[in-house]
Amino acid sequence: MQSSQTNLSALTSMEEKNVVSLGRKILTDEAAAIQSLANNLDERFYNAVNHILACKGNIIVIGIGKAGLIGQKIVATLASTGTPAHFVHPSEAIHGDLGRFNKNDTAVILSQSGETEEITRILPSIRNFNIPIIAITSSTQNTLAQFAEIVIPIGKIDEADSLKLAPSSSAAAILAIGDALAFVVSELRGFNFNDFAKFHPGGALGRKLSCVDDYIRNINQCRVAPQNETIREVFIKHSIAGRRSGAILITNESGNLVGIFTDSDLAKLFEKHNEYKLDSKIKDVMTTSPTTVISGTKMFDAIALMAKKRISELPVITNNGIPLGLIDITDVIEFIPESNSIWQQSSNQTENLKVA
């Protein structure tokens, strides 16, 4: 208890700027380790990527301790970006989990020292499966490296903690290499937004990657009116119960969407003292050729388009121009674009969206 109180006293007596400075040093040290690794990346990384691309089975990632935890994260990244992968704990491997290996697999083994007992014990068994081993380790001179077809050496790295003992900078470097392998392979395979959506159906990310069809107000929940009715007739005849959108979808005789008329458009008539136009045909005052998206469009594309065009309602139509419903901004407020790359990429793609 005395030790805990002493540490607390030390913390309260240390100036805030010193604490922040210490935190910055640790982050800087870890970043420097990754930068050094990036500067020295060579053909061995290229060879590792080729092995993963050529793998007809699974990428089996092996590690123990901190390297094992990092290995599980690398597995998750590989799997979510289109490369089948799973994690095997080396201690479990010698008690039956070697049965997870087959001749079409590739092993990625993580160990800074390359001499960890649990790792070295299973290397002869993995070799018996005649599968390639990619080692991410400190050098080419340790036991793990001698068993590997490809070694990506991270070099001698000083850990970021004050004792220079706790896996920190080395762990960050191994994780960075795993991410680099996963993302390069993913890009070379042509993994795209649609593929990503298949593997991420849940959570906020899954919702962003879902289709507009999952969020539209169906046509029976929308106000739809023929183009030859007057504004007054439209508002009298086509009211709907419950919470309504602020837009009316205007169709022609064939049922195709030809325009949109919003509550804001109605307000503008009164603001400009054009009340007499209430008895004009709605086609004369509606917005013609409104911005639309086709059924099947991804939500992030649709919302990026709404943000770019500064519109609150976005009709969803078939390939033939028949309205299926609309996206109302009040239903998807959680998707409002943030300052991140996925929205930026989506915004860049909106020019290619098919519109009516």
Does 12 score more than 60 pLDDT?
Answer: no
Angstrom distance (rounded) from CA 166 to CA 11: 21
Does 253 score more than 70 pLDDT?
Answer: yes
Quote the pLDDT of residue 1: 45
Across all residues in the chain, what is the average pLDDT?
A: 86
Quote the pLDDT of residue 353: 52
Considering the chain, what percentage of its residues have pLDDT values greater than 90? 55
The first and second tokens of residue 269, run together, are 């008539």
Nearest to 325 by CA among 265, 267, 208, 240: 240
Domains and CATH numbers, the chain: 11-191 (3.40.50.10490), 207-352 (3.10.580.10)
Region 260-279: what's the mean pLDDT? 88
Does 194 score more than 80 pLDDT?
Answer: no
Region 58-78: what's the mean pLDDT? 96
Contact 282, 234 (CB under 8 A): yes
Kindly write down the DSSP assignment for every residue of 97-151, as one continuous string. Answer: GGGG--TT-EEEEE-SSS--HHHHHHHHHHHHTT--EEEEES-SSSHHHHH-SEE
Region 2-6: what's the mean pLDDT? 50
CA geometry: angle at 283 spanning 279 and 289, to 5°? 155
Quote the pLDDT of residue 356: 42
Quote the pLDDT of residue 293: 94
Q: What is the pLDDT of residues 132-151, one digit of tens each?
A: 999 999 999 999 999 999 99
Q: What is the pLDDT of residues 33-49, one digit of tens each?
A: 999 999 999 999 999 99
Q: What is the pLDDT of residues 292-313, one digit of tens each?
A: 999 988 888 888 888 888 888 9
Contact 247, 257 (CB under 8 A): no
Nearest to 189 by CA among 306, 355, 55, 301: 55
Quote the pLDDT of residue 244: 73
Q: Which residue has the higher pLDDT, 84 or 331?
A: 84
3-state secondary structure of 249: strand
Confidence category of residue 172, pLDDT binned at 50, 70, 90:
very high
Contact 328, 245 (CB under 8 A): yes
Does 340 score more than 50 pLDDT?
Answer: no
Does 3 score more than 70 pLDDT?
Answer: no
pTM of the model: 0.68
- CA dihedral sign, ordered 188, 190, 193, 198: negative
